[in-house]
């Protein structure tokens, strides 16, 4: 039973929830049943079939509807006299500014990506509203409390970087099935169905191949009046046959590796068999299925090479026949059945070529989305812990704030491990406003490089204002006139040392995000040369820390140390969600089982060796355990 003091705190509270997914559904239910009278929910997502096994406020009839709005309606059925205000919107939208956050007594996060978490953290700091952060993955979970000036903020400690794989491993020497998945999803699928103008390493390989066969057109473009069956076989033969033969011509690559086997459609799928393929009758694009068209039902079956070839050709055909308007704008989505079928088949055919064991669609989908299958009980436990901490915050009970870890196995006979919060990190650039140091070639780097690679990619500032002394060099906003926009656009293309107010070694640059009310100061240090492999951005930021990837082979790290933009030669795959080793409170490291460890091959001969692909997760809720509470040596909150 809650005490009278607790009930009083609850009755007078106005609470903001961000996220109405796995944790959010349990949290809203728990808040309502605990007596919270005024709850606001922000969530931009709509309900999908895959949500229904753990997000218990939703039903089959709700698929396609707003999560925030349906969650509100479901809870009001059993708690009709409370106020719940839903927002089907992105928390980064302009309407959710600092003034909006100031109206709440506490903010409760149930988000699924780093960018949104960082954004909410900064708004809470600016509005001086306490934040209770949370995350789950499988049986693991955590809840942390962040109060400005009292505890460390969400960004005081580094977060694990996404797992990365060198492009040469993906395109030339895959050794594990995850390499084949990355190739199929982020290179082949993107090339065939995504933005045609986006740089893609298949272009390079195909251009090399085309030059020797006197082909001048893009082999991935469908020719005028070309039959879809012919087009599918031509793509099949090119990527699984001819490209493999071209790779085999480089004998040095295969001295210490198994030689792959070229696969051509005529050898696996004679013309007569290919014509047996049917046509899917589904009207909903997301329900179109090559498996259904071919009469294949069990997603846990491991398909033969012939079956994978049929699925590959059929899914490609269905994209052009049923979803042609989407081609050119598609990105891989783990909830898109046809996309998952295509990627699974393509990855399996490539795996067969390189002697890698084949996987079922169910397994491939888990790897492609880095899915750690959610456990509803964990979400419920974490939601309960969020409410407990929220009540402490409302009572200003700072001595009893706790970071609580939910464990898979008992540690010290406990499955819930409470830890006292820590003081703010004095070197945190977000909550302590400590100046950062940027080493950069001021005679070569452009202002655009600084904006894209540092301000946006590393610091997460999306509406930056950049000043050098009293000179305003760059600004983003809807209220700018055309001359100002043109002036700032011109500045982006100028070298730092040639700006109207030159940025040179020893100068101080100030960057503000007016929406987040965050200011960062940069001490600029000129440096002539950078290591292309270790510092692919051509610049080095100090005072900002992000944990490096733990993906290794033969004790050689292949992580890139942080999430960067395309401009820095790293290709992001999806919305951020880390699948790295988590430091759990037992002091042991736990790896997620769905994504096997990748191995980096020696890519010295590849001129693009510093380029990497990321494997990141976009499942519903994600965990970021920041260390072992039993061995922390930082100073705890006094």
How many Cβ atoms sit within 10 Å of the Cβ of residue 313?
Answer: 25
Distance separating the N- and C-terminal Cα atoms of the chain: 29
Give whole-number Cα distances, 199 to 191, 316, 490, in Å: 9, 21, 24
Which of 124, 156, 168, 406 is an active site residue?
Answer: 168
Cα–Cα distance, 530 to 536 (Å, whole number)? 8
Give the start-end residues of each E strand in 82-167. Answer: 83-87, 106-109, 131-137, 140-146, 163-166
Which ranges constitute the DSSP H helices of 35-113?
Answer: 67-76, 98-102
Find all residues with CB under 8 Å of 539, minimum gap 6, and list them. 438, 439, 440, 441, 445, 449, 450, 453, 454, 530
Structure tokens at 80: 């009709």
Q: How many CB atoms lie within 10 A of CB 255?
A: 6
Query: Of 586, 547, 514, nearest to 97 (Cα)?
Result: 514
**464-468 vs 471-475, strand pairing mode:** antiparallel
Whole-number Cα distances in Å, 90 to 75, 112, 183, 374, 515:
22, 13, 31, 23, 14
Buried b (16+ CB within 10 A) or exposed e, 112-137: bbbebbbbbbbbbbbbebbbbbbbbb
Q: Respond yes or no: is residue 168 known to be catalytic.
A: yes
How would you classify residue 142: left for phi > 0, otherwise alpha for psi between -120 and 50, otherwise beta?
beta
Nearest one of 503, 472, 515 to 94, comparing CA atoms: 515
To which residue do tokens 């750690």 refer?
Answer: 372
Question: Which DSSP helix (H) or strand (E) runs through 207?
Answer: helix 201-212
Catalytic residues: 168
């Amino acid at each position: 039973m809650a005490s009278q003091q607790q009930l009083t705190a609850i009755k007078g509270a106005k609470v903001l929830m961000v996220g109405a997914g796995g944790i959010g559904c349990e949290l809203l239910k728990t808040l309502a049943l605990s007596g919270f009278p005024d709850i606001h929910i922000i969530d931009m997502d709509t309900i999908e079939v895959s949500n229904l096994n753990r997000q218990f406020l939703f039903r089959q009839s709700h698929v396609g509807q707003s999560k925030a709005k349906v969650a509100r309606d479901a809870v009001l059925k059993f708690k009709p006299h409370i106020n719940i205000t839903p927002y089907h919107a992105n928390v980064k939208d302009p309407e959710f500014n600092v003034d909006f956050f100031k109206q709440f007594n506490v903010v409760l996060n149930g988000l699924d990506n780093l960018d949104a978490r960082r954004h909410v953290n900064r708004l809470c700091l600016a509005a001086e509203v306490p934040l209770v952060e949370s995350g789950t993955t499988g049986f693991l979970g955590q809840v942390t409390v962040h109060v400005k000036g009292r505890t460390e903020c969400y960004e005081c400690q580094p977060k694990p970087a996404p797992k990365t794989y060198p492009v040469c491993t993906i395109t030339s020497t895959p050794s594990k099935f995850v390499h084949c998945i990355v190739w199929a999803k982020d290179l082949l699928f993107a090339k065939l169905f995504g933005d045609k103008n986006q740089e893609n390493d298949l272009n390079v390989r195909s251009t090399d191949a085309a030059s020797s066969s006197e082909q001048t057109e893009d082999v991935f473009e469908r020719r005028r009046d070309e039959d879809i069956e012919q087009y599918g076989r031509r793509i099949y033969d090119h990527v699984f046959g001819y490209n493999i033969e071209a790779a085999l011509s480089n004998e040095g690559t295969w001295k210490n590796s198994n030689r792959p086997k070229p696969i051509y459609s005529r050898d696996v799928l004679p013309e007569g068999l290919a014509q047996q393929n049917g046509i899917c009758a589904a009207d909903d694009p997301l329900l179109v299925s090559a498996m259904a068209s071919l009469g294949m039902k069990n997603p846990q079956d491991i398909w033969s090479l012939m079956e994978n070839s049929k699925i590959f050709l059929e899914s490609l055909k269905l994209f052009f026949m049923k979803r042609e308007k989407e081609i050119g704008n598609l990105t891989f989505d783990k909830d898109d059945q046809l996309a998952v079928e295509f990627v699974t088949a393509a990855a399996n055919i490539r795996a067969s070529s390189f002697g890698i064991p084949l996987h079922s669609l169910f397994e491939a989908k888990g790897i492609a989305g880095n899915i750690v299958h959610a456990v509803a009980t964990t979400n419920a436990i974490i939601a309960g812990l969020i409410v407990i901490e929220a009540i402490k915050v409302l009572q200003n009970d700072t001595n009893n704030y706790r970071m609580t870890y939910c464990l898979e196995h008992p540690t010290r006979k406990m499955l819930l491990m409470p830890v006292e919060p820590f003081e703010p990190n004095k070197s945190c650039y977000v909550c302590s406003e400590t100046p950062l140091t940027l080493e950069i070639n001021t005679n070569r780097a452009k202002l655009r490089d600084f904006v894209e690679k540092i301000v946006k990619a590393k610091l997460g500032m999306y509406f930056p204002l950049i000043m050098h002394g009293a000179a305003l060099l760059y600004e983003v906003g809807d209220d700018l006139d055309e001359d100002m926009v043109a002036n700032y656009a011109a500045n982006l293309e100028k070298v730092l040392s040639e700006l109207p107010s030159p940025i040179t070694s020893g100068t101080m640059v100030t960057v503000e995000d007016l929406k987040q009310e965050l200011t960062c100061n940069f001490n600029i240090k000129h440096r002539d040369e950078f290591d292309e492999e270790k510092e692919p951005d051509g610049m080095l930021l100090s005072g900002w820390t992000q944990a490096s990837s733990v993906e290794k082979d033969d004790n050689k790290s292949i992580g890139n140390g942080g999430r960067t933009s395309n401009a820095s030669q790293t290709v992001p795959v999806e919305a951020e969600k880390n699948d790295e080793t988590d430091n759990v409170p037992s002091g042991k490291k736990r790896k997620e089982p769905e994504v096997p460890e990748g191995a980096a091959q020696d890519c010295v001969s590849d001129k693009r060796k510093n380029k990497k692909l990321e494997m990141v997760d976009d499942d519903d809720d994600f965990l970021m355990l920041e260390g072992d509470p039993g061995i922390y040596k930082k100073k705890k909150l006094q």
